[in-house]
Amino acid sequence: MDSLARPKNLQRRLGSLTPPSAYVLRACEFRDLAQVGQIERASFPERPYTRLDFTYFLLAARDGFMVASKDGTVVGYVIATARGREGSIQSIAVSPESRGEGVGELLLRSAVDRLAGRCDRVRLLVDASNEAAIRLYRRLAFEETGKVVRGYYPNGGDAVEMARAL
């Protein structure tokens, strides 16, 4: 059992939330980019990736660009890349109406699983004030590296680097 295996009591902790099995994880396709862009703008309104950015990731990191969908609608995405033995979560976002339902965790687990075996470590940057994301990353064995990128975000917020071994 890998270190990211779903705890037996997760469903009990989630209570009446939509079970993760209601979501379909699959590779992102060009037809998904409009919905991915909507999620991006809702999640990062001050500096969203553009359609051109997503097209680049779709071409350059095809096997690491995954979407979660429910009833045919994209509700979240993750972009994971590898350079040498170092993996990186370039971006992860969930639509506002699907937050708190385990979609982000499902996407992040998938990304880590895809990087395992190819990479020794995976890292990401997170807004220092995004407590919910930091809790999720810690739950999935990410730890702060001590690196802080001051003023990384358009609002002047700092980014904290987190990483985990694979």
15 band by pLDDT with thresholds 50, 70 and 90: very low
Parent domain of 87: 20-123
Residue 158 inside a domain? The answer is no
First to last CA, the chain: 14
Residues 115-163 pLDDT 10s: 998 999 999 999 999 999 999 999 999 999 999 999 998 889 999 999 9
Share of the chain above pLDDT 90, in %: 81
Helix intervals (H) in the chain: 10-14, 33-43, 51-60, 103-115, 131-139
Write out the two tokens for 17: 């939330």
- Average pLDDT for 66-90: 96
CA angle 137, 48, 120 (to 5 degrees): 35
Determine, yes or no, domain membership for 113: yes
Whether residue 12 lies inside any domain: the answer is: no
Residue 161 domain-assigned (yes or no): no
Q: Which CATH number do you get for residue 29? A: 3.40.630.30
pLDDT beyond 50 at 10: no
| Structure confidence by residue, pLDDT tens digits, 21-59 | 689 999 999 999 999 999 999 999 988 999 999 999 999
As for how many domains the chain has, the answer is 1
Q: What percent of the chain has pLDDT over 70?
A: 87
